[in-house]
Structure 1
Amino acid sequence: MGYVALTIFGTGLLSLSTDRDVIATPGLGSVPGPLAAGVSAIAFAATLWPVLRGRPRYTSVIGVVLAVVLAHLVALWVLALVFGADLALATAAVGDVATSWTVAVFAGSAAVAAWVAVAVRRTAAHRPRWPWERDEDE
């Protein structure tokens, strides 16, 4: 959920501050963008899950970031075609996203969220407990 929250916050804030749409390709419609973001969230979870098994390494975050960005761009292209855009428009939309700040937001959100997940897993952090919930041996 941290990845999704950071992505929504980042795209919203930068869209507001730059006065530019997240996907500024005219004629694309409003459906492919959010669905592609959803696919990137699924890609984030799918690539992070195997990383967190065992003792994860911080360098594995790079693979998660690359998978998320690639999944977002491919999903945007496919979904644009599915929802009625022609090949040129779908390719233009992906090119616009790939060369704008949007790809940086997705990559940065994935990097921060994956790094935090690896850090929490490596430290074996547990939920906070009240004093009466602790075992006597602690």
Structure 2
Amino acid sequence: MDQPVGVAAPIAAFFATVGFAALAICGFGFTSLLTDTDVLSAPGLGQGSGIAAMILCAAVFAGTEYGAVRRRRYPAAAWVMIATLAAYLVGVFVGGAVTGVDAASAAAVAGEFALSWYALVLALTSVAAAWAGIALHRTRARRPEWPWEHDEDDE
């Protein structure tokens, strides 16, 4: 299976992970602005739950994306999305429990998130970033060059 390789798999997965995190945070911000709601809203929940959820889902995205990039199959982006969304929900629950919110409230907040516009934003950003990482590895991507950087023998 000697296929031409573009960007190395670990680097493609890293760039996809950074892109995912940036897109998700930006998407959450714009969704909050447009809907005039909080990403996670519960009395006493605090910011710890959201931070824990974002860290966990970014870590799960990175791990599953690396596997998807190595497989070189675009449908694997759907599995990355499912794992990332599940990790965010687990992160909300665990982060809520760690910050002192009772388990029922933490589960309710996770359920509310799962049925919100924010879950759609997270799903779309994760599948788009996963697809981009796979494409970066599959294609013969290389650094940009100016015309004068080419050898004259290549003409």
TM-score (norm 1): 0.91
Following TM superposition, by how much is the alpha carbon of 1:136 offset from its aligned partner in structure 2, in angstroms? 6.2
- 1:17-61 Cα shifts (integer Å, max 9, x gaps): 11000112222111110221111111111100011125x111001
Change (3 A) 1:79 1:127: same
User: Where do 5+ consecutive residues of structure 1 fail to align?
Assistant: none
Separation in structure 1 between the aligned mates of residue 132 and residue 35 of structure 2, nearest angstrom: 28
Aligned partner of 1:107 among 107, 119, 123: 123
- 1:45-97 Cα shifts (integer Å, max 9, x gaps): 1100011125x111001110000000110111011101111111111111111
Following TM superposition, by how much is the alpha carbon of 1:132 offset from its aligned partner in structure 2, in angstroms? 5.2
Change (3 A) 1:131 1:98: same
Are 2:139 and 1:116 equivalent residues in the alignment? no
Aligned partner of 2:86 among 64, 67, 70: 70
Which one has more relative contact order, counting CA pairs under 8 Å at least 6 apart? 2
Summarize the alignment of residues 1-20 of structure 1 with structure 2, pairs less than 5 Å apart: 1-20=18-37
Are 2:44 and 1:27 equivalent residues in the alignment? yes
SS in 2 for 1:7: helix
Q: Tell me the equivalent position of 1:51.
A: 68
Q: Is the CA contact 1:41–1:68 (under 8 Å) kept in the aligned structure 2?
A: yes
SS in 1 for 2:43: coil
Following TM superposition, by how much is the alpha carbon of 1:130 offset from its aligned partner in structure 2, in angstroms? 3.4
Are 2:103 and 1:90 equivalent residues in the alignment? no
Q: Tell me the equivalent position of 2:14.
A: none
Aligned partner of 1:125 among 116, 141, 151: 141
Following TM superposition, by how much is the alpha carbon of 1:118 offset from its aligned partner in structure 2, in angstroms? 1.3
SS in 2 for 1:26: coil
Between the two proteins, the alignment pairs up a number of residues equal to: 137
Separation in structure 1 between the aligned mates of residue 151 and residue 22 of structure 2, nearest angstrom: 35
Moved over 2 A (4+): 129-138
User: Where do 5+ consecutive residues of structure 2 fail to align?
Assistant: 1-17
